[in-house]
Chains A and B, each alone.
Chain A
């Protein structure tokens, strides 16, 4: 089946720094990718829809200036958490649909902000 990768798998950073997370579709092209966030013992919450070649669509309550999304190619979307704070510590997961309309998730990135 199709594969979606994420990098890094985990990251620890100091408060106030920015962190970039990459999401790649390895064997298919994805004009649309999705970014989710999952806090402990909670479900996945959709943060934004990443659109290749255009602006991302953010869900209500998600700050677009804090969570910068860039979808520069058909296989790569990046999420940058700017000026990270401890409350941003979470599990960030991306996903994409392949042409058979099956959704594949990346393995996730665990962010810890000290």
Chain B
């Protein structure tokens, strides 16, 4: 089986930086995704890490350490529209099968 852990809620200030952590335990690891999901909507793709290190994409960056079973999503220059749930998801074992964590609900305050 798989176990994916991330904080359920976080609050951060507009313009600041926030880091959302995700730890996982799985066999046959084959990549880690981060998705953003606004209430009542489907998830949208943010990043995909399969090798160790930091991937930067605009205001969002994602880091992976396979040996530690650890990833984080870094959001810079926070905007009010970044208030959403951020889902950590792990692909492992079977072809394209992805398992999601519970998601971190981020609230950005003025």
Contact = CB atoms under 8 A, between A and B. Distances in A.
A103 B100 contact: no
A107 interface: yes
Centre residue among B41, B42, B94, B99 by max chain A CB count within 10 A: B42
Contact of A43 (B40, B96, B103): B103
Interface string A84-114: 0000000101000100011111111010000
A46 B43 CA distance: 14
A110 B42 CA distance: 11
Contacts, number: 44
B100 A44 contact: yes
B98 interface: yes
B102 interface: yes
Secondary structure at chain A's binding surface: helix, strand, loop or mixed?
strand
B45 to A, nearest CB: 7
Nearest to A57: B94
Given A42-B102, A43-B102, A103 B95 contact: no
Interface residues of B, number: 19
A59 to B, nearest CB: 9
A46 B99 contact: yes
Interface residues of A, number: 21
B100 A43 contact: yes
B33 interface: yes
Contact of A44 (B44, B87, B96): B87
B95 A32 contact: yes
B98 A34 contact: yes
List the 10 shortest-distance A-B pairs measured between CB atoms, nearest first: A105-B42, A43-B102, A44-B100, A43-B100, A108-B42, A43-B103, A107-B42, A97-B96, A93-B42, A105-B43
Interface of B: 33, 40-45, 48, 87, 94-103
22 contacts: A34-B96, A43-B101, A43-B102, A44-B87, A44-B100, A45-B100, A46-B97, A46-B100, A49-B94, A91-B40, A93-B43, A97-B96, A101-B96, A102-B48, A103-B33, A103-B96, A104-B45, A105-B43, A105-B44, A108-B41, A108-B42, A110-B40
